[in-house]
């Protein structure tokens, strides 16, 4: 028995070390030249046909070792999406918080992680991406414009910056112009960081107490937006209001405190457009073993005990 426990302990220790190794190699990697959202959107203009897929992730929070280790696992899974060669995967979207504290180091690491994704990646800005006021315009350097629209095949995509938890009058005007321009397209998608309604009632985020969510959601309803992709809350949550889907997909790497059973798990989305129809699958990512043993197993144990005793 003693020998069995010893061998089991060594196996777990070695497996944990192996699960930690990719993030060490990441930190030793050379950074490629950054690219902008516009450069990647340009690549999509040659795509033809109305059947395609795209991936969505958010809140990878590069620069924090826990986030980076989990994000690398997610990237490995994303890169296998095309293995059946059925419907092309055109690109990946991030709904923001690409960095932990928007330092040069964070963007440097984000740039390497992004380069590991074998797809063009287009990013919205999150509130963590302009935390560091000493490094001005660093998001522009690494990702380009924080607001833009682009098209791919039969679909229109709008990237909106609501990192200040508001949408200004000027932004509403721009958004409505973009939605009008999108009318000849079969589908329209909006990507922004903060959800208009809080996806988790027990969390601190309370966007619905402001005026912009109602106005924004009415616009989405009127212009028949298919899906609004957001992050910010580190969880998965899908809601539907008056024909528009609102998806919070903040499971791109950042450690999560929301119970796993309520959506607090790492994941990304595989969205499929088949002519007039759109559907999606959630790809859950099991945390790297060292993170699971060091944090997630205890998180779930805490919530289990809480539900037993309270």
Q: What residue spans of the chain are helical by DSSP H? A: 2-28, 37-43, 65-78, 104-116, 138-143, 169-181, 212-222, 289-291, 297-309
C-beta of 41 vs 124, nearer to Fe ion: 124
Q: Give just the sign of the alpha carbon dihedral 228, 81, 277, 281.
A: negative
Nearer to Fe ion, 53 or 232 (CB): 232
By residue count, the chain amounts to 310
Q: How far is the CB of 33 from Fe ion (least distance, A)?
A: 26
Using alpha carbons only, give the angle 237, 122, 143 rounded to the nearest 5 degrees.
120
Angle CA 36–73–274, to nearest 5: 65
> Minimum distance between the CB of residue 221 and Fe ion, rounded to whole angstroms?
27
As measured in angstroms, the least distance from the Cβ of 305 to Fe ion is 27
Which residues contribute to the site for Fe ion (CB under 5 A)?
59, 97
Q: Which residue, chain included where needed, has tokens 């989305």? A: 269
**Quick one: 122 or 256, whose CB is closer to Fe ion?**
256
Rounded Cα gap, residues 60 and 256, in angstroms: 11
Nearer to Fe ion, 174 or 205 (CB): 205
- Nearest-CB residue for Fe ion: 97
* Smallest distance, Fe ion to C-beta of residue 34, A: 21
**DSSP designation for 29:** S
Neighbouring residues of 37: CB distance < 8 A, sequence distance ≥ 6: 122, 123, 143, 144, 145, 148, 150, 159
Minimum Å gap between C-beta 199 and Fe ion is 13
Q: Which is nearer to Fe ion, 20 or 205 (CB)?
A: 205
Q: Which residue, 59 or 130, is less far from Fe ion as judged by CB?
A: 59
CA 55 to each of CA 81, 94, 119, 247, 281: distance values in angstroms, whole numbers, following the listed order: 9, 9, 9, 13, 10
Q: Which is nearer to Fe ion, 59 or 291 (CB)?
A: 59
CA dihedral 293→285→282→124, nearest 10 degrees, is: 100
Query: In angstroms, what is the minimal distance from the CB of 232 to Fe ion?
Result: 6
CB of 306 to Fe ion, least distance (A): 24
User: What is the closest distance, in whole angstroms, from the C-beta atom of residue 59 to Fe ion in the complex?
Assistant: 4
What is the β-pairing status of strands 89-94 and 51-57? parallel
Q: What is residue 62's DSSP assignment?
A: B
Looking at beta carbons only, is 59 or 68 nearer to Fe ion?
Answer: 59
């Amino acid at each position: 028995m003693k020998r069995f426990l010893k061998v089991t302990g060594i196996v777990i220790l070695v497996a944990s070390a192996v699960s930690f190794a990719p993030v060490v190699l990441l930190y030793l990697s050379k950074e490629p030249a950054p690219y902008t959202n516009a450069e990647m959107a340009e690549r999509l203009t040659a795509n033809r046909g109305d059947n395609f897929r795209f991936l969505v992730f958010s809140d990878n929070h590069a620069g924090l070792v826990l986030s980076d280790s989990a994000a690398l696992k997610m990237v490995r899974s994303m890169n296998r999406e095309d293995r059946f060669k059925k419907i092309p995967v055109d690109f990946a979207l991030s709904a923001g918080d690409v960095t932990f504290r928007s330092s040069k180091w964070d963007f440097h690491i984000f740039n390497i992680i992004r380069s590991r994704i074998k797809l063009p990646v287009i990013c919205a800005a999150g509130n963590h991406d302009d935390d560091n006021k000493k490094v001005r315009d660093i998001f522009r350097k690494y990702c380009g414009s924080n607001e833009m629209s682009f098209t791919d095949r039969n679909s229109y995509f709008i990237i909106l910056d609501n990192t200040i938890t508001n949408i200004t009058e000027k932004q509403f005007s721009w958004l409505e112009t973009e939605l009008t321009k999108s009318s000849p397209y079969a589908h329209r998608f909006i990507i922004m960081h903060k959800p208009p309604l809080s996806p988790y009632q027990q969390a601190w985020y309370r966007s619905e107490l402001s005026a912009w969510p109602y106005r924004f959601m009415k616009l989405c309803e009127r212009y028949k937006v298919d899906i609004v992709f957001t992050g910010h809350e580190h969880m998965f949550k899908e809601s539907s209001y008056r024909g528009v889907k609102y998806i919070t997909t903040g499971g791109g790497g950042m450690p999560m405190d929301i119970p796993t059973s309520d959506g607090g798990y790492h994941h990304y989305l595989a969205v499929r457009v088949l002519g007039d129809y759109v559907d999606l699958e959630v790809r859950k990512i099991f945390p790297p073993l060292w993170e699971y043993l060091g944090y997630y197993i205890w998180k779930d144990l805490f919530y289990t005990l809480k539900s037993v005793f309270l």
